[in-house]
Amino acid sequence: AQTVTQSQPEMSVQEAETVTLSCTYDTSESDYYLFWYKQPPSRQMILVIRQEAYKQQNATENRFSVNFQKAAKSFSLKISDSQLGDAAMYFCASMGPISSGSARQLTFGSGTQLTVLP
Amino acid sequence: GAVVSQHPSRVICKSGTSVKIECRSLDFQATTMFWYRQFPKQSLMLMATSNEGSKATYEQGVEKDKFLINHASLTLSTLTVTSAHPEDSSFYICSASPGLASDTQYFGPGTRLTVL
């Protein structure tokens, strides 16, 4: 079974500044995938970034990047040049490998509510 | 990107009635669809996984007779909340995956259910 832990229920950042959201996970799999999803007030889940565990290079998507520390089972999200539109609930999630043979479920953390201050 | 729709977006019903929520993949075939429940300011809780043409797999603690899931085609899954009660009021989200090999789930916009 996989578990995902987000220890920061709430975070705030000043507009244009940088913020890092923490996430740790636990899995017995050697191959897995990690994700950050954003849920704005509309409640539509939006994929922010994904990381394949076998890739050592940290994923980057424009202002969003991750710090993937496989040995420490840590997967933090860095948001640079924060914008008002970044305000949302952010969920860290994991997914098992293709070899599991069954539908690959997402395991979500408890979420971090990010506030962006103007 | 792939689009998943849910209908209705909001529904209010009386206690004891049944409510059906539809989840459609609009531009791809979804071998697998997932149904989640989300309480305010909480995470998504997986209720069940459905594969087209077969019975859904329910998570522990989810009443299969209460939450009926049908995945009759590769583009449509339905969740029926039977004999709804106020405690069933929640936000229900579906997601769809193109296949077992896919690591991507596409989420619907969710349905707000209020049971009076």
- Residue A43 in contact with partner chain B when CB distance is under 8 A: yes
- Residue B83 in contact with partner chain A when CB distance is under 8 A: no
Contact B49 A103 (CB under 8 A): yes
> Which residues of chain A make contact with B49, given a CB cutoff of 8 A?
103, 105
* pLDDT tens digits, one per residue of B42-66: 999 999 999 888 889 999 999 999 9
Q: In this structure, what token pair is assigned to residue A17?
A: 């500044």
Q: In this structure, what are the phi and psi dihedrals at residue A97, rounded to the nearest 5 degrees?
A: -80, 165
Contact B46 A106 (CB under 8 A): yes
Contact A105 B42 (CB under 8 A): no
Contact B34 A91 (CB under 8 A): no
> Which residues of chain B make contact with A104, given a CB cutoff of 8 A?
97, 100, 102-103
> Which residues, 6 or more positions from A53, have their beta carbon under 8 angstroms from its beta carbon?
A29, A30, A31, A32, A33, A34, A68, A70
- Residue B75 DSSP SS3: coil
* pLDDT tens digits, one per residue of B74-86: 999 999 999 999 9
Contact B84, B15 (CB under 8 A): yes
Q: In this structure, what token pair is assigned to residue B59?
A: 């998570």
Residue by residue, pLDDT tens for chain A (118 residues) are 789 999 999 999 999 999 999 999 998 888 899 999 999 999 999 999 999 999 989 999 999 999 999 999 999 999 999 999 999 999 999 997 766 655 588 999 999 999 999 9
* pLDDT tens digits, one per residue of B81-103: 999 999 999 999 999 988 766 77
- Residue B93 in contact with partner chain A when CB distance is under 8 A: yes
